[in-house]
Amino acid sequence: MNRKLKDKIQGLADKYLQPFDVGYSLNGCCQSSISPAEGEYMHDFIIKHDLQNGIEIGTGPGYSGLYLGSALKKFYTVDNCAIASSLHWDESQVIAHWRKMFDEMGLIDVPLLKTVECSGLPKFDFAFIDGDHTNDAPTKDIFSLIPLMANNHHIFMHDTEGPYVREAIINAYKNGYKIETIQFPANVGNYGLTRLWT
Ligand SMILES: C[S@@+](CC[C@H](N)C(=O)[O-])C[C@H]1O[C@@H](n2cnc3c(N)ncnc32)[C@H](O)[C@@H]1O
């Protein structure tokens, strides 16, 4: 990932993301977001493998979207706006935040979905899951995406150190997925990134 793009993302993070987390200053981004290292890794993976259509579950502050959207030809992001209540915002404020930040990144045509259960979606060769991390939600997220995925695809899961996300990965493995845990140097904000592919 080139310096100019890194700086642009960091500039947008500095401008827009402080309201989302008190841990902002710890690693230069939000504590509730992916780390810069994880973002760069997925960005570079998408470019290297020439992946085209991607979907993310868990837009959150929008930090991961900056990395993914700038690498993909077409990027969809899904969030049920559960994050709004923790910010004491209403949904329209969250949506306006995503639009503004993505527009400024040059991501002018990003569909903001509330669920993956909608019509007219293309086949995806890339997905990133970072939504609800509790109970069977991560497993449901994987299995709701599978019918939408192209033959050769990669699914990245975030926060894979957590028990329910780990359980989801085991369920995917039992369904024929291969697993790679991406290693990062110990750093605040890296809570486990795992790639699934068939
Ligand atoms: C940890 S944050 C995502 C962080 C984001 N990937 C980033 O790096 O900036 C999790 C998000 O998932 C959303 N979420 C929770 N449950 C969801 C669900 N069932 N479907 C879609 N999004 C959900 C929350 O509203 C929250 O915005």
State how far the Cα of 159 lies from the Cα of 133, in Å rounded to an integer: 8
Quote the DSSP letter at residue 130.
-
State residue 14's pLDDT score: 87
Dihedral sign for Cα 88, 77, 10, 96, please.
negative
Atom of ligand 1 nearest to the CA of 39: 8
How many whole angstroms from 80 Cα to the centroid of ligand 1?
Answer: 7
* 80-92 per-position pLDDT tens digit: 999 898 888 999 9
| Residue to substitute in 9, 29, 32 for testing ligand 1 pocket (most ligand atoms within 8 angstroms of CB) | 32
For all residues of the chain together, what is the average pLDDT? 92
The DSSP secondary structure of 161-183, one letter per residue, reads: TSHHHHHHHHHHHHTT-EEEEEP
Residue nearest to ligand 1 atom 22, measured at CA = 79
Which residues, 6+ apart, have CB-to-CB distance to 98 below 8 Å?
Answer: 59, 62, 65, 77, 110, 112
Q: What is the pLDDT of residues 38-66, one digit of tens each?
A: 999 999 999 999 999 999 999 999 999 99
List 179's β-bridge partners, or say none. 196
Question: Topology of 3-197 in CATH?
Answer: Rossmann fold (3.40.50)
pLDDT for residue 3: 96
Residue 53: beta bridge partners? 74
Q: Ligand 1 pocket test: pick from 43, 66, 78, 132 the residue with the most ligand atoms within 8 Å of its Cβ.
A: 132
Atom of ligand 1 nearest to the CA of 61: 9
